[in-house]
Amino acid sequence: MSLGSELRAARTSAGISLAALGERVGVSAASLSRWENGRATPGNDALARVAGALGLPDSTWHAGVDESPSRGPGRPCLVPGSDWRNFEPLQLDPVLAAALRMFLARGYHGTTVRDVAKEASMSVPNVYHYYASKQALLVGVMDRTMVEFRTRCELAHQEGRDATERFELLVECFALFHSYRRELAFIGASEMRSLEPVERERIAAIRSDCQRMIDVELEALDRDGRLRTKHRDDAGRAVVTMLVGIANWYDLDGRQSPDDIARRYVEFASELVGLVAS
């Protein structure tokens, strides 16, 4: 199957129109159509954005074309068997990295595309070449955040041999992500309201998948009489809220390492739900 055919099959399988996918990845529907029909070849950066928008690993497709000369090393891609505890330095394309910095400094609504262009040392038209709008920049940051987060949660969950271990590993994973990826996680939580309705629903569904992993293990523990709390669902929400909140205060240059935080929060979470030792 050709690259274009694979792109079309993945898009149609996800139930996404050319226009909607183009908005997510910052290219025109016409460009996407040319790629799918084999009349043009997308660069690897664009392919990574398409894969992320479709919930696929960044390395799903590789065209051997680098469309952004100033782009640094490729973004890390987690595959089955990867070490979900290993966090390489965050790598984003120059435009998205600049957008993230500006959103952190000024908030989404306080940032303009001109601000992002200046921060990226690019012209405004060059920014629009890669991302069609400021909303597309926010969607790019959100996709980068949630795809990595969900993948790490899935890998952590797979390591657990029973409900207790899976619960503790998921808590550890949440804590590590919201420490090591504090900036992404902060925007992921604080700017959810700035997404347009369709994208907000899609991104929120990914986040709910991660919450649900914890809920499922708490349900299993409750059935086995392993929880002392009488309010399992509320306790589960409290655990996740506590973990997500790490991104509001954690400082990578502080005295506590992410591993220290993770160990402590596993204890906090276990106490909060009243986990009974086996």
Second-level CATH architecture of 1-62: Orthogonal Bundle (1.10)
Output phi, psi for 227, to 5 deg: -115, 135
pLDDT of 66 above 50: no
Helix-, strand-, coil-residue percentages of the chain, each rounded to 5: 65, 0, 35
pLDDT of 72 above 80: no
Closest to 151 (Cα-Cα) out of 250, 227, 75: 75
Share of the chain above pLDDT 90, in %: 62
pLDDT of 246 above 90: yes
Closest to 111 (Cα-Cα) out of 127, 90, 89, 130: 127
What is the pLDDT averaged over residues 36-64?
A: 74
| Residue 259 neighbours by CB distance under 10 Å | 14
Which residue do the tokens 């990226």 mark? 120
Helix or strand or coil: residue 129? helix
Summarize pLDDT for 188-239 with one digit per residue, the tens.
999 999 999 999 999 999 999 999 999 999 999 999 999 999 999 999 999 9
For residue 41, what pLDDT band results from cuts at 50, 70 and 90?
low
| Residue 18 neighbours by CB distance under 10 Å | 18
Calpha distance 16→103 (Å, rounded)? 27
**pLDDT value of residue 81:** 56
Helix or strand or coil: residue 275? strand
Summarize pLDDT for 134-175 with one digit per residue, the tens.
999 999 999 999 989 999 999 999 999 999 999 999 999 999
Q: Please name every residue paired with 275 in a beta bridge, in sequence order, or none if there are none.
A: 227
Calpha distance 213→240 (Å, rounded)? 11
Closest to 156 (Cα-Cα) out of 181, 141, 179, 177: 177
Which stretch of DSSP H or E encloses residue 249?
helix 246-249
**Whole-prediction pTM value?**
0.72
**pLDDT value of residue 62:** 67
What is the pLDDT averaged over residues 2-21?
A: 83
Cβ density class 181-199: b for 16+ within 10 Å, e for less: bbbbbbbbbebeebbeeeb
Closest to 116 (Cα-Cα) out of 273, 124, 15: 124
Query: 51-55, 110-114, 128-132, 219-223 — which is least confidently predicted?
Result: 51-55
Calpha distance 94→39 (Å, rounded)? 27
Second-level CATH architecture of 135-273: Orthogonal Bundle (1.10)
What is the pLDDT averaged over residues 29-43?
A: 74
Average pLDDT over the chain, rounded to an integer? 87
pLDDT of 21 above 90: no
Chain-centroid distance, C-alpha 100 = 13
Name the more confident of 46 and 236: 236
Name the more confident of 145 and 53: 145
Report domain extents, the chain.
Answer: 1-62, 135-273
pLDDT of 115 above 60: yes
Rg for the chain (alpha carbons), in Å? 20
Calpha distance 213→185 (Å, rounded)? 18
Which stretch of DSSP H or E encloses residue 117?
helix 113-119
| Residue 173 neighbours by CB distance under 10 Å | 25
**pLDDT value of residue 28:** 74
For residue 63, what pLDDT band results from cuts at 50, 70 and 90?
low
Closest to 92 (Cα-Cα) out of 101, 83, 84: 101
Query: 32-36, 145-149, 247-251 — which is least confidently predicted?
Result: 32-36
**pLDDT value of residue 99:** 97
Structure tokens at 106: 């000024």
Share of the chain above pLDDT 70, in %: 88
**pLDDT value of residue 91:** 86
pLDDT of 106 above 90: yes
Q: Supply angle C-alpha 200, 205, 211, rounded to 5.
A: 125
pLDDT of 109 above 80: yes
